[in-house]
Chains A and B, each alone.
Chain A
């Protein structure tokens, strides 16, 4: 009786949404990766067959995750974090290079991507640190500590040329804000992003002039004026940032990343060059948008997508899986997927807010924020809303490491949540 009650404490809504996404994702992986007329679902040499195997393994993984005592996760978070960081660092020695990124271990033909697991580990470590009784997140010292916890994996993956994953770690700013850090951090981050984009798009000079006008207007309309040094230093700082970003963009950024931003900001005006870019650097994006666009309202139907069948979109079963949804399931199916993700994220956030222990709450928040970053970057990229950044769509994209990583991330939280009555 006690046992039975325990099961019902799991949040079945989240679990349901999880399996819906994984299942629908698998259908799309079939479409994106099948090559012949007949589809043997258990052909493990094919991505869709492998993915099916991963899904079965996931079920086992879930059972294990839910069986483990929830205290274990809190108590061993530091150990888990350290092991995870070591596995990331180990890539520099034992890593296997795939497509220019050394993000994989090759263990007897099976590849493993430790960065997919590092996210959960980092979330655990951050939750542990913030929830520590000795931590006051409003203190600079503690803020720096949290920053360090997040920065270590972020820098490690960046060094392994996985810029997309680095960006994901930026999501911890939402958690810090939720836990009481000053809103100024968010505002400054946002300002720097906007300032950078404006400098690239319209040039540093134009951006600086606008900045000067805004800051001075603000200064002279204030009732209680601070020293003039304040607005002046803001202006100087933003001009420095502007030039810094411009320099970084022009001279330091690798060419392919620069081109992605160039296309995103519509900086290339030469139609001939643009046409050439569409065939090279923007090829994926162009084909992906066209595939999505061709789906129309209801799509071409399962396995009927001509662009998907013709493999017009490279990497379609991994990062570009959403374009398959767009082509074969149309607006209806794509909007459905977007809504599923939004529901899942909001459900997790809602549950996080219900947690009595700070550890669980911070962890839950991290889960939502990490999945959200993936969702935002991946679908935004596939539809051309943000520049091309290689990052999988959680639960949807093909890949064992990714699926296991997100399963671990999510189901630790489901386990923590199921125990919230005992959380004291």
Chain B
């Protein structure tokens, strides 16, 4: 034993040490990655972010330099704080607070003193910079918008948040990333790839030189420029028309699925979300819960589509061969089942065949068509399924797959939906009759309606709507160039298209005709409700209009929706006609419509629910004009636009 003791102790020590090494080097570490090594400083070289052009090659977004005032707390020498604060437009208290915070973080490491100075502030500061020891300027690149429009499409960039940093190791604290619009959709293309330099440092954080002579260093890869499908002039025009209104416009080129304009109103100037003011302005926009300027109504507003939906029922009726173009249905100011009126209608001649049914937007006509479609099957669930599948083939009831990150699915009910709704299975075509006129359970978004129009304009197929037109040196996603076919045969479209043409010719939009352009359209009116102090209150109907033009070889298909604008041709229809004329002719002959739209405002309508007073809707609401100065301002803007 006496001879063995030290032997044993040495052995145990050896084993313990190897165990500890195992714990330190294998169990709790693994090989160290260069990026995590805090003995290596990583210096990033940020590439130029790609520019954004509109479909006509107009530059919309480029970059501007911005200047961060940086400092190293320990190196700051006594200075003329008064002068310094004045230059930076801060108070002395701000100065002390920023300084102390940074000092607590690290006296040795650089901290941002004031981020993103404007060029002017920078110029003033630069002259005196040498007087402020310990401070220096770091240049970085911000977005610069060449326009005041299209904020919802162009989007913005901002500092990356912790959640993304955790998910994606590319991003480091303080990096900028797309937050909305195309900036987020095409983030990786626009941003490029930043270069990195690895620098060996010592424990005092001093640079010792490039790590391994820079063999791991990379050069930045410049961001690529993109061209988007938006027509900036048209977009600007659309936004102007939507002044003092709320709602959305989406227009698509049916022959390609390119989104020509995408207006949401109210909107904001994209320059508000640049640089130092971004977070302040964003909060302000975000907190406006009444006008919701950040809510993209073109993509996200989900409503019952109303009458435009009727044309789909006509198409399905023809496809299912349950109705011919000649079949006539009578209308007694509504559709009756026995003596019970299921849906009302307005005054027009009766009975009507398909052409007039569409042109006059007769509810009774489509109620009959819908019942024939569903009742063609013994089981109403089966009938509704068949109907639902036809509808969905137009891109309704689900995300469309366009290249913007926000949207809504809308809702197209099927047999299962009603079986769940009515657990006793006691339902049928009369129960779901609202589907015939686009009310009730059916819900869509404006972009879905515009796409539906494109599919009708093409007589049976559509290209997935998209915002990207060209990427520098790269082709766009194949799904945007492959047609999606609907379940309706081509020949069944002609009578329906003719009906929509007659909407303009002699129907509900006859006052909106544009000389020399054959427009096919459909008006719509959607009831809507709002909870006011817990009471569900009906508001003035939404004005809806869908259209495409010209009738043959269509160039534009669009959906316009104006909140609380009342009937379809009142606001939405006028705007649709103007947009179509502007796009196809490049100038406006129906200046009467233009004047009307600019002159009338719906602001008073939007204030009603918040007034605390009882108020009238629809028939009992009045139109109000903008005042003369505002009208002149808008006219001025219009003139500026056309020049």
Contact = CB atoms under 8 A, between A and B. Distances in A.
Nearest to B3: A353
A292 B21 contact: yes
Interface string B5-41: 1110111011011101110111011111000010110
Name, among B25, B26, B32, B203, the residue most crowded by chain A CB atoms within 10 Å (CB to CB). Answer: B25
Given A293-B24, A339-B14, A177 B2 contact: yes
Interface string A335-349: 100110110011001
A292 B13 contact: no
A178 B37 contact: no
B25 A349 contact: no
B28 A383 contact: no
B203 A383 contact: no
Given A292-B24, A309-B200, A310-B202, A383 B7 contact: no
Interface in B23-75: 24-26, 28-32, 37, 39-40
Q: Is the interface of A mostly helix, strand, loop or mixed?
A: helix
A399 interface: no
Given A331-B25, A334-B21, A178 B208 contact: no
B13 A375 contact: yes
Interface string A363-382: 00100110010011001100
A372 B6 contact: yes
B606 interface: no
Interface in B171-203: 200-203
A306 B37 contact: yes
A178 B5 contact: yes
B37 A294 contact: yes
A338 B203 contact: no
Contact of A292 (B10, B25, B37, B202): B25
A55 B21 CA distance: 29
A376 B13 contact: yes
Interface string B280-319: 0000000000000000000000000000000000000000
A380 B3 CA distance: 24
A353 B6 CA distance: 12
Contact of B22 (A186, A331, A342, A346): A331
B427 interface: no
Interface in A295-328: 295-298, 300, 304, 306-307, 309-312, 314, 326
Nearest to B201: A310
A180 interface: yes
A287 interface: yes
A326 B21 contact: yes
A385 B5 contact: no
Interface residues of A, number: 46
Nearest to A353: B3
B6 A365 contact: yes
Contact of B20 (A297, A368, A385): A385
B111 to A, nearest CB: 18
A363 to B, nearest CB: 14
Given A178-B3, A293-B25, A310-B201, A383 B39 contact: no
A344 to B, nearest CB: 10
B32 A294 contact: yes
Nearest to A376: B13
Given A178-B5, A296-B32, A379-B17, A342 B11 contact: yes
B84 interface: no
B10 A349 contact: yes
A2 B500 CA distance: 122
A387 interface: no
Contacts of A74: none
A174 interface: yes
B21 A383 contact: yes
Contacts of A331: 21-22, 25-26
A76 B17 CA distance: 38
B18 A311 contact: no
B211 interface: yes
A355 to B, nearest CB: 12
Contacts of B29: 293-296
Nearest to A327: B32
Interface string A153-187: 00000000000000000000010011010000010
A293 B5 contact: no
Given A295-B25, A310-B200, A331-B21, A369 B6 contact: yes
A293 B208 CA distance: 23
A80 B28 CA distance: 49
B39 A342 contact: no
Nearest to B205: A310
Nearest to A342: B14
Contact of B24 (A178, A342, A376, A383): A383
A289 to B, nearest CB: 6
Nearest to A291: B39
Contact of A178 (B6, B22, B26, B39): B6
Contacts of B13: 342, 372, 375-376
A346 B32 contact: no
A178 B2 contact: yes
A338 B17 contact: yes
Nearest to A309: B200
Contact of A307 (B18, B20, B24, B39): B39
Contacts of B212: 304
Contacts of A339: 14, 18
B32 to A, nearest CB: 4
A330 interface: yes
A314 B202 CA distance: 11
Given A365-B6, A368-B6, A383 B17 contact: yes
A312 B39 contact: yes
Contacts of A311: 202-203
Interface in A176-226: 177-178, 180, 186
A346 B18 contact: no
A57 to B, nearest CB: 29
Contacts of A376: 13
Contacts of B14: 338-339, 341-342
Given A177-B5, A178-B5, A372 B31 contact: no
Contacts of B202: 310-312
A338 B200 contact: no
A338 B39 contact: no
Contacts of A296: 25-26, 29-32
A297 B39 contact: no
A375 B12 CA distance: 13
A306 B203 CA distance: 11
A149 to B, nearest CB: 20
Contacts of A309: 39, 200, 208
Interface string A253-275: 00000000000000000000000
B129 to A, nearest CB: 31
B24 A326 contact: yes
Contacts of B211: 306
B11 to A, nearest CB: 7
B10 A180 contact: no
Given A294-B32, A376-B13, A349 B6 contact: yes
A306 B31 CA distance: 12
B31 to A, nearest CB: 4
A180 B26 contact: no
Contacts of B31: 296-298
Closest 5 CB pairs of A and B: A296-B31, A342-B14, A294-B32, A306-B39, A293-B29
Interface of B: 2-3, 5-7, 9-11, 13-14, 16-18, 20-22, 24-26, 28-32, 37, 39-40, 200-203, 208, 211-212
Given A342-B11, A376-B13, A385-B17, 14 more contacts: A174-B5, A180-B2, A292-B21, A292-B25, A294-B32, A294-B37, A310-B202, A312-B39, A335-B21, A341-B14, A346-B10, A369-B6, A372-B13, A379-B17
20 contacts: A180-B2, A186-B5, A292-B21, A293-B25, A293-B28, A293-B29, A294-B32, A297-B26, A306-B211, A307-B37, A309-B200, A310-B202, A310-B203, A326-B24, A331-B21, A365-B6, A368-B10, A372-B9, A376-B13, A380-B17
